Structure 1
Amino acid sequence: MGNAYTASSLDSPAPEDDGGEGSLADRLGYEDSALEGVEYRESLKPLLAKLPPRERRIIMLRFFANMTQSQIGEEVGISQMHVSRLLTRTLAQLREGLISD
C-alpha cells in the first residue's frame, strides 16, 4: 500500500499555482491578507444581529448591495439625510462593539 501524499522539503520552491515565490520555508508565517477581512466579518455578525431591523437593513444595503444613500432612502422610505444620520450612528455603535470585544 502506498502513501496518499508526498512529503516535500521546506527548501523546495513554493507551488506556482499558490502565487508564491521562494521556498516553502520562506512562506511559513506568511499572513494571508484576506484573513483579516474574514475576522472582521465574523466579529461583526453578532453585532449586526443586535441592530434594530431598519438599521441592519440600511447597513446591508449600503455595504453589501453597494447602494447610495439616496437609493437606500428611496428603498426604505426615508430621506437621504436621515439615512446618513442613521449610518453615522450605527457605524459608531459597530465600531464601539468591535473595540469593546
Structure 2
Amino acid sequence: MRHFFNVLSFAVALLPATLCAAQIQGKVIRVLDGDTIEVKTLPAKIVVYEVPIRVRLINIDAPEKKQPFGRWSTNQLKALLAGQSVTVSYTQTDRSGESWDEW
C-alpha cells in the first residue's frame, strides 16, 4: 500500500509538467485585442469538441482597446493572425484563471 502512495505522489508531482507541455491546434477565429485571440480547436484525441479557446499571448504587453494605440495593435494582430492555423502551447494560468500561451 505504501508503494502505491509513493507512485501516486510521484505521478501527481509530474502532472504540472505534463500540463505545461500541452499543445492544441486550431484556427484563429477572432482577435479580441493586441494580445488576446480566440482559437477554434481542430478535432484531436484530447479535445473532443470544437470549442473556441481564449488565448492570451505570453510576453506581449499590448495596449487595451480604449488606450492609445489599442485599436491599432488589435488591427495589427488581426492582419497577422486572422483566419490562420496555429499551434498553441499552454504555458501558465494567471490569477483570473486565463491561460497565457505561445503560438
Is TM (by shorter chain) over 0.5? no
Higher RCO structure, 1 or 2 (CA under 8 Å, sep 6+) = 2
> How high is the TM-score relative to the length of structure 2?
0.29
Structure number having the greater helix percentage: 1
